[in-house]
Amino acid sequence: MVVYDESCFQSNDGGKTGWFDENHRQIRPKGSGKSLMVSAFLCECHGLLRLPEEQIAQHPGVAPDATEIIRPGANSDGYWTNADLVKQTKEKALPIFQVLHPNCDALFMFDNSANHHAFPPDALVASRLNLKDGGVNLKAIMRDGWFMNEEGNRITQIMANSDGQQKGFKSILLERKLWRQGMKKDDAVDLLMKQPDFLEQKEWLTETVLSEPGFKIGFFPKFHCEFNFIEMFWGAVKRFTRSHCDYSFDGLVQILPVALLSVPVAQIRRFARKCFRYCNFFKGV
């Protein structure tokens, strides 16, 4: 089982209390300061999903560490999106797991957030279509669909017209002989959503994880962060950064990688056991 989450760390997030001479009190910044965001995968047997030093040379084609640290903001590295998570999962997390756990099945668990349930840019999502062909709001031409004709044969349907434009739902339904004169948009979208190829469309993250044999995906219940033991890991990491805070962004950049490795695996296992007890308790209620 591998759990995932993101967390932000502020440069001015230091200790809240301390001893000072009444005439020499420390003047601390009022704001939280610049931040760093960490996107990480965690398992109870290895901690952060990363290769040991002895295995990095043995697997040169595998990323050594699945953890991503970015500087969020419009004028920095931008903001973390589902596309970033999919890339991190596919190119780093899955290959590292296969090295660390050969011949094992994996269960990747994510929080139940809207970002984790986004569809791929070329997904078969009826609500993205216009009535007519084309559309400026589409990020990509939809992947090929399919339907069964009257003879029971499976027909592949290309979603681009002869001009290279995305077909509208009217054209798609006409080719499937499902369009009815005077059909309203909501009815047409609802009809298309019920077609087998649209129904089997998976979310981007789910599609990525399930694309590799032996990998499964799950989502924690909403508003139940106590089930995810990486939340306790974040608490331990933030305790370390607060005790070593020098109220500068450069200091945060230097101390955060150290803080991420400061939590021993034995402590992570205790976090996991505590979360498993929560899960078992709620399962029995």
Domain span at 165: 126-199
* Domain assignment of residue 106, yes or no: yes
Whether residue 72 is found in the same domain as residue 182 = no
Whether residue 81 is found in the same domain as residue 139 = no
Whether residue 191 is found in the same domain as residue 235 = no
In this structure, the dihedral spanned by the alpha carbons of residues 264, 266, 271 and 275, taken in order and rounded to 10 degrees, is 150
- As for how many domains the chain has, the answer is 2
pLDDT 10s digit of each residue in the chain, 285 long? 999 999 999 999 988 777 777 787 777 888 889 999 999 999 999 999 999 999 999 999 999 999 999 999 988 999 999 999 999 999 999 999 999 999 999 999 999 998 899 999 999 999 999 888 987 778 889 999 999 998 999 999 999 999 999 999 999 999 999 999 888 889 999 999 999 999 999 999 999 999 989 999 999 988 888 899 999 999 999 999 999 999 999 999 999 999 999 999 999 999 999 999 988 866 654
Give SS3 for 150: coil
Whether residue 100 is found in the same domain as residue 232 = yes
Tokens of 123: 């997904």
* Domain assignment of residue 24, yes or no: no
Tokens of 83: 């596309």
The label of the residue with tokens 């009535």 reads 131
Whether residue 225 is found in the same domain as residue 268 = yes
Whether residue 217 is found in the same domain as residue 266 = yes
DSSP string covering 39-60, please? EEEEETTTEESB--HHHHTT-T
Q: What is the DSSP letter of 121?
A: T
